């Protein structure tokens, strides 16, 4: 190996070490910013704990990594336009027609503001979030030469379209979505803590009420039933309230524990599930025995907690599909 090769190899290793250190500093900066974000949003008083960063670090680091992995699992972008409605099965399933598609796009305040601010941009990348609904309808099925009428079928529709985080490029959007996913977990943790605080306060109020009712009952004739269990009254389930409030928030350490419960186990609260579906041109679910060729769809459904579920995908919106502003306002 010649002298020049040795020098070149040394430089490559040096540059790699510098790049690795820079990447490590960037990751550490992102982590520290996220920890402070959690403190700001949930309870800034936890900064009174000298070790709050050390205690929050593992759960925040895990949530950040989980959110990053979630976003990488979202498929590549699909163009959503009048042009693709007729040839892309997914776009066709999500909108009832080209006019519906253009109306939804034009109705998005976020999308219009994006194009107003970026005059040179012909396209915008954004997350399109929708609610998937299924309902039973009566339809017609063809089996060979036999036509069956009034057959129960499942119709699928997508409503409440929302455009989220418009961006100039898909990589930029994915970075924004990682932050959005992390913020969703912070919000969920804050909701859980709020419920516990409310339960604790309600328990204290109900205990005071029970004590007052007990005293009133003692002042009445001994032949009367205690008012706490009187007919027509509301029975107070003190034990249920106490059980809910047992996850105490009496100290700042308790707040750290409750935050860790959510951010340390993010997959329990925020999930992405793939749903395979076979639909006809009329968005009717097809089974394997159906003679209708239809089209196969692979949907991504996001779930936050037990109740919120949304179908989502990354969309590429062309500027020229926006309705003229005067027509849209009319």
DSSP per-residue string spanning 208-248: HHHHHHHHHHHHS-TTSPPGGG-TTSPPP-HHHHHHHHTS-
Q: Are residues 115 and 245 in the same domain?
A: no
61 and 143 share one domain: no
Q: Are residues 159 and 195 in the same domain?
A: no
Q: In which band, very low, low, confident or very high, does the pLDDT at 1 lie, cut at 50, 70 and 90?
A: low
Per-residue pLDDT band at 148 (split at 50, 70, 90)? confident
Cβ atoms of 71 and 128 within 8 Å: the answer is: no
Q: Is the pLDDT of residue 227 over 50?
A: no
- pLDDT above 70 for 138: yes
Is residue 213 domain-shared with residue 176, that is, in the same domain?
no
| CA neighbor of 275 nearest in space, from 311, 315, 304, 314 | 311
The domain boundary, picked from 42, 72, 102, lies at: 72
pLDDT at 205: 63
Run of H or E including 197: helix 170-219
Give percent above pLDDT 70 in the chain.
78
Identify the band that residue 226 occupies on the pLDDT scale cut at 50, 70 and 90.
very low
Do 302 and 167 lie in a common domain? yes
The whole-angstrom separation of Cα 69 and Cα 76 is 14
38 touches 186 (CB < 8 A): yes
**Whether residue 214 sits in one domain with residue 156:** no
Q: Where do we find the tokens 């909108």?
A: 95
pTM (global) more than 0.75? yes
Whether residues 10 and 122 share a domain: the answer is: no
Range of the domain at 222: 188-267
Asked which of 267, 296, 318 is the last residue of a domain, the reply is: 267
Q: Which of 267, 290, 319 is the last residue of a domain?
A: 267
Token match 């409030």: residue? 245
Residue 285 per-residue DSSP state: B
Averaged pLDDT of the chain = 83
Distance CA 12, CA 101 (A): 51
Examine the domain organization and report whether 102 and 54 are in the same domain.
Answer: no
Do 174 and 276 share a domain, yes or no? Answer: yes
Count of the separate structural domains present in the chain:
3
Tokens 């959690």 map to which residue? 38
Same-domain pairing of 157 and 102: yes
Phi and psi at residue 126, to the nearest 5°: -155, 160
Decide if pLDDT at 244 tops 90.
Answer: no
Residue 231's pLDDT band, with cuts at 50, 70 and 90, is very low
> Per-residue pLDDT averaged across 250-268, rounded?
89
Clarify whether residues 12 and 101 are in a common domain: no
- The answer on 215 and 98 residing in a single domain is no
1 or 208, which is more confident: 208
């Amino acid at each position: 190996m010649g002298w020049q090769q040795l020098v070149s190899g040394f430089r490559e290793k040096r540059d790699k070490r510098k790049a690795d250190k820079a990447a490590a500093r960037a990751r550490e900066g992102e982590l520290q910013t996220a920890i402070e974000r959690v403190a700001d949003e949930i309870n800034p008083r936890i900064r009174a704990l000298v070790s709050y960063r050390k205690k929050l670090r593992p759960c925040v680091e895990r949530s950040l990594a989980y959110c990053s992995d979630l976003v990488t699992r979202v498929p590549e972008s699909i163009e959503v336009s009048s042009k693709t409605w007729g040839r892309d099965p997914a776009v066709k399933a999500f909108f009832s027609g080209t006019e519906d598609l253009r109306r939804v796009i034009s109705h998005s305040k976020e999308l219009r503001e994006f194009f107003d601010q970026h005059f040179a941009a012909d396209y915008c990348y954004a997350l399109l979030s929708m609610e998937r609904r299924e309902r039973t309808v009566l339809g017609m099925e063809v089996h060979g030469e036999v036509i069956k009428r009034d057959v129960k079928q499942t119709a699928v529709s997508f409503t409440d379209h929302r455009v989220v985080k418009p961006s100039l490029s898909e990589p930029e959007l994915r970075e924004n979505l990682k932050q959005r996913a992390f913020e969703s977990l912070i919000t969920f943790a804050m909701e859980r803590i709020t419920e516990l605080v409310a339960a604790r306060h309600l328990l204290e109020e109900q205990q005071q009420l029970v004590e007052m009712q007990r005293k009133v009952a003692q002042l009445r004739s001994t032949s009367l039933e205690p008012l706490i269990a009187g007919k027509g009254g509301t029975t107070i389930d003190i034990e249920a309230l106490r059980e809910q409030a047992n996850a105490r928030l009496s100290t700042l350490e308790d707040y750290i524990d409750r935050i860790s419960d959510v951010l340390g186990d993010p997959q329990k609260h925020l999930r992405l599930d793939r749903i395979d579906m076979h639909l006809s041109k009329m968005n009717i679910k097809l089974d394997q025995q159906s003679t209708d060729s239809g089209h196969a769809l692979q949907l991504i459904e996001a779930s936050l907690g037990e109740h919120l579920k949304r179908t989502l995908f990354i969309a590429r919106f062309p500027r020229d599909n926006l309705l003229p502003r005067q027509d849209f306002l009319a």
